Structure 1
Amino acid sequence: MSALETAVADLMRDVAAKAIMPRYQSLSAGEIIEKAEDDVVTIADRESEAMLAEGLAKILPEAAIVGEESVHADASVMDRRGADLCWIIDPLDGTNNFAKGKPPFGIIIALAEKGETHAGWLWDPLQDRICFAERGKGAFVNGERIAARETGEDMPVAAISTIFMDEAQRHQVKQNIAPYFQLVDIPRCAAEQYPRLALGVNDVSVFQRTLAWDHAAGVLWLNEAGGRAARLDGSAYRPDQDGTGLLAAASPALWDKLAACIPD
């Protein structure tokens, strides 16, 4: 393990132990704040982000920092994503689950260079699982190199959320995708969904919202594992670019099968 990989992983474990796990299933009503419809933030999110930002600034002082909660407070923070070096932080992925006292949830960190993800970490404190990838060097789970695998089901398993889709998009899913895939519930946690795509639980997924803190690390990790994650038109996902729509799959062949079901 590289010094950088170890330092970030140790920071994530420490922050989870101090800011997140002590509040799991013990949040008071006043510690859960509604940011928007079906979107909440907790005191654990905010404390986690503050601690992560402080720790990451010590690891790479020259890197800009973009955190989910800092962007919520000041949208101009998003402009830092294209910096020479930039940390991208989801301090508590799966907040809705965490606020309800149920899994999954985790921490996601990506390191981008000039708008391209260079390294990514996805930490699940309940499963004691850390997924890590560095561009061009493979994907790992708890230090063991892994290769993405399909479920092997006769009808591939598709984890697709329609929460952020409009009615026309929901109709397209039912009409064009459902006949060829088994539709299953999503975990509402990218730190869990990306591992499901590589570890034989799900075969494909469609993401409507593609925010950098949710996807930069997972896209790199899945691609390094031999799966495929890309924009709907097949172009690479970049955390410094806005937009909607992202397809992810356990293999390039499954990505192609899913893409063929989505109208231009």
Structure 2
Amino acid sequence: MSWALQMSRAYLSLTKPGIVLGNLISVTGGFLLATHGQVDWKQGALVASGVSLIVASGCTVNNVIDRDIDRLMLRTRRRPMASGAVAIPAALGYAALLLLVGVGVLYTATQRLLPLMLVLLGYAVYVGLYTLCLKRQSVHGTLIGSISGAMPPVVGYCAVQGGFDVTALMLLVMFSLWQMPHSYAIAIFRDADYRAAAIPVLPMVRGYATAKRHIILYIIAFMIASLSLGALGAGGLYMLSMLVAGAGWLAVAIAGLTTRDDTRWARKVFITSIAVVTVMSTAMSLHAI
């Protein structure tokens, strides 16, 4: 493999493409939800691109900050910062460039300050409150971090709507709630990594039994919030989709109370969570178009 290709892959890896893709889907869902069928596809592409670049910047900074604990975990020890493939100044410069271009693209698409303020708030929470402060110190880090992960669909919605209304608030709540069982499931099936890095997530600090109860309660709360969005006008297809998807996720979670294989069960909760958020974002999009 040539040096140029190796470096290209390293810089792409810094942005955590899986996270960027997930946020791309959710910001598109929020954007289309707000259009009520009157879609400006050029604006939508620019909003999605701008948010994706900003998310990529945040993920790059996260890689820089977490390079020490990444070396301790099996699944992350080969990341570019952990392995030393990319120098710290180069990575930070790359992150700054992604952030500046992303902000410029998003503002060009919206000509509004609110979407920028929201996405930068999410960036600050992820890089500052979560990565720098709470991730290594508090069991509540996951909850605070969920705010940043919930921001892209809100930004997509507000880019069209122009203001922060009850629907925007509901998007923030439901996407935040979704992330809690998703994150706890990862912590359970990646138990060895989290213990090696001494990250105080709920399953490690308070045990699997407590984590399982929290997962079930968060999924119930998520179902209530997601169905409430339907009552705000997301449509019948959305309501039906979320009722089925949410009930399926809850059934998988409840099975954890009697399972004999916590790792396998947690993987099922995680995989189902990905399916649920994809169904949710797709249903919001289909309602709009």
Structure 1 length as normaliser, TM-score? Answer: 0.32
The structure where strand makes up a greater share of residues is: 1
Q: Which has the higher contact order (CA 8 A, sep 6+)?
A: 2
- Larger Rg, first or second structure (1 or 2): 2
